[in-house]
Structure 1
Amino acid sequence: DDGRGGRRRGEEAEGVGDKHKDRGGRGEGGKKGRRREDDGGRDSKRRQLEAPSGEGRKDRKGGKGSSHREESQEESEDEAGPALPKRSWLAPYIKVRVVDKKVRGGRLYLKKGTVVDVHPGGLCDVAMDEGRDVIQLGQAALETVVPKEVGAAVLVVEGALRGSKARVQAKTAEVCAVQLESDFSIQRLLLDEVAMFVGPMDDD
């Protein structure tokens, strides 16, 4: 009996020792796991701290690039120069009306006249119906006069038919139907595209 009891005590002692070893192994493994987690947390914190600085540098670079693009656009616009002036619609022998209140202190406002000569830069000499004064005006101070009478002579001053002579067939508040002298076709044109014509209708 004593021998059997001694063996049991020895086996129990070995079992206790094995349990202590297992606990120790688990403890070391747990510590290692915690270290990995801690290291991972530190690495993630480092990444988080480093990321904003990198993004900030990218933004600053992007800002410089955008400013360069804006400067290049401004330079290209400066190189293009000012917008070209509108094409002149003036022509000799057309009737016009003064629409600038500043001309002669407003005394010629809405007065009619005839273009007798055209100069570069949208300027022309106008012989006024009243007083027969000849004054030089810009086209911005004038508008075309369109006759109401059917059969009245007009000149096309704008568009694809510019320079064509025609006669009025009908007129509304916005458009005018005319018959071209060249081929007798009927054309519907805006009032700004035609003007009363007092010159010769034949081309001879």
Structure 2
Amino acid sequence: MQNKVPDGFEDGDHIKVDLRPESATEADYESIPVEAYGIAMLKGMGWNKEEGIGRTFKQDVKPIEHQLRPKGLGLGADRSAIKDLEPGKKRRPPKPGDEQEKEEELVMGPGGCVLVESGAHKELYGKIEGVDPDNARVMVKLAVGGKTVTISQYGIKLVGRKEYEKYSKDLSRFSKASKEKEKEKEKEKEKDRDKERQRRDEKERSHSDKHKSSEREREGGRDERKRKHKESSHDRERPPEKEARRPPAPPSWLQRDLKVRFIDKAFKGGRYYNSKMRVEDVLTPAICVCRTEEGRLLDDVKQDMLETIIPKSDNDLVMVVLGEHRGQVGRILQRDKNKCKAMVQLERYEEKIFTLDYDLICHYVGASDH
């Protein structure tokens, strides 16, 4: 025993208290962690950290620790990809004889580095946190600001980790000087392409001239020249054919937070025909992403599938979608249903009243300045 007195110092009748250790105080109990006290009790009962508890089954079984699944990571997905979200450590240069590292694979999945190419967060870098394959959208955590946003997968570009670490938080990319440098580089590339195009054209032109001259030398005779003269005169008398002109593209009126009506009967078998929805994001001047009243997102919706809506209530806001005041928000003061016009007071011009056609305004459900 640990506190036993050596033999010869005590007998059965007399006990020497001064040979024994001092009693533990309350402060001693407070200084010992509860975990250490519990482990000491288990060790006293024969417990070993590397052996299991039991008579026959002595295998050490690690307990299952449940980890929170990130939002957007579907069932059955590879959880090992979560490690890619952690910042990478600096790797040493390869020594002679070491195998070279494999090229980085760009994966559209959690941990992937992307560059936003369109929308409100254009030219910002981020990392993918989740993928929604049904709606072709991804959840991206932006490097600048740390905000998580939902973006169409057609509006992002996968990039390597080196590019991400170099430019993700480089705010100088948005400066005027940086943009001017990029424009100068684009101009130089365009000049090089023009010079290369001119060299090819000159080479083809010289080759065709040589070919034509050799043909003229082989073709001789008066009859041949007369035939060519008749054909050329006939071609001069023929009026030139008019080139078919393409009809001009309709002007773009798509804006975010507009409430519109779906009028395409062929889309999804006519499931959304004549239903109202909200413009969630504008990808191109003629293509947008819409959200139905049930909350479902529809991607790649074309402008000609939608039409504007005039609100029935005077308290609802409208936005000018075409014309000089495009993008301005206001309220309808008076309607003329016979002429399909409305008197609108815009928030920026409170002292003026504008008479606008129904085709120039649309129901607006976004935030207002007032």
Is TM (by shorter chain) over 0.5?
yes
Contact 1:156 1:162 in 2 (8 A): yes
* Residue aligning to 2:236: 65
Instruction: Map residues 133-144 of structure 1 onto 2, 5 A cutoff.
Output: 133-136=296-299, 137-144=301-308
Q: 1:96 to 1:120 in 2, by over 3 A?
A: same
* SS at 1:176 equivalent: strand
Q: CA deviation at 1:171?
A: 1.9
Tell me, in whole angstroms, the C-alpha distance in 2 between the residues paired with 1:179 and 1:66: 61
Question: More helix per residue: 1 or 2?
Answer: 1
Contact 1:178 1:189 in 2 (8 A): yes
* Residue aligning to 1:94: 258
Tell me, in whole angstroms, the C-alpha distance in 2 between the residues paired with 1:164 and 1:187: 12
Tell me, in whole angstroms, the C-alpha distance in 2 between the residues paired with 1:188 and 1:90: 21
Tell me, in whole angstroms, the C-alpha distance in 2 between the residues paired with 1:166 and 1:63: 64
Q: Given the alignment, which residue of 140, 145, 149 partners 2:313?
A: 149
Tell me, in whole angstroms, the C-alpha distance in 2 between the residues paired with 1:158 and 1:148: 20
Instruction: Map residues 121-136 of structure 1 onto 2, 5 A cutoff.
Output: 121-129=285-293, 131-136=294-299
Query: CA offsets, 1:31-81, max 9 Å, x none?
Result: xxxxxxxxxxxxxxxxxxxxxxxxxxxxx99864342x414xx4xx37xx7
* Residue aligning to 1:166: 330
Contact 1:96 1:114 in 2 (8 A): yes
Q: CA deviation at 1:177?
A: 1.4
Contact 2:318 2:330 in 1 (8 A): yes
Contact 1:151 1:169 in 2 (8 A): no
Q: CA deviation at 1:179?
A: 0.4
- Higher RCO, 1 vs 2 (CA within 8 Å, ≥6 residues apart): 1
Instruction: Map residues 20-35 of structure 1 onto 2, 5 A cutoff.
Output: none
Tell me, in whole angstroms, the C-alpha distance in 1 between the residues paired with 2:314 and 2:345: 10
Residue 354 of structure 2 aligns with an amino acid whose one-letter code is Q
Tell me, in whole angstroms, the C-alpha distance in 2 between the residues paired with 1:63 and 1:151: 71
Query: CA offsets, 1:135-187, max 9 Å, x none?
Result: 12101000011102123211000111111111111223311211010011211
1:106 aligns to 2:277 (yes or no): no
Q: Given the alignment, which residue of 175, 178, 181 partners 2:344?
A: 178
Contact 1:150 1:167 in 2 (8 A): yes
Contact 1:155 1:165 in 2 (8 A): yes
Query: CA offsets, 1:82-118, max 9 Å, x none?
Result: 4442221000011000011112211211100010100
Tell me, in whole angstroms, the C-alpha distance in 1 between the residues paired with 2:237 and 2:285: 40
Query: CA offsets, 1:1-36, max 9 Å, x none?
Result: xxxxxxxxxxxxxxxxxxxxxxxxxxxxxxxxxxxx
* Residue aligning to 2:365: 198
RMSD of aligned alpha carbons:
2.3
Superposition TM-score, scaled by structure 2 size? 0.34
Superposition TM-score, scaled by structure 1 size? 0.60
Q: 1:142 to 1:159 in 2, by over 3 A?
A: same
Gaps of 5+ in 1: 1-59
Structure number with greater Rg is 1
Tell me, in whole angstroms, the C-alpha distance in 2 between the residues paired with 1:202 and 1:181: 8
Residue 65 of structure 1 aligns with an amino acid whose one-letter code is R
Tell me, in whole angstroms, the C-alpha distance in 2 between the residues paired with 1:182 and 1:121: 25
Q: CA deviation at 1:121?
A: 4.7
Contact 1:148 1:171 in 2 (8 A): no
Identical-residue share of aligned pairs (%): 31
Residue 367 of structure 2 aligns with an amino acid whose one-letter code is P
Tell me, in whole angstroms, the C-alpha distance in 2 between the residues paired with 1:144 and 1:92: 13
1:188 aligns to 2:351 (yes or no): no
Gaps of 5+ in 2: 1-230
Q: CA deviation at 1:190?
A: 1.0
* SS at 1:115 equivalent: strand
The alignment of Structure 1 onto Structure 2 pairs a total of residues equal to: 136
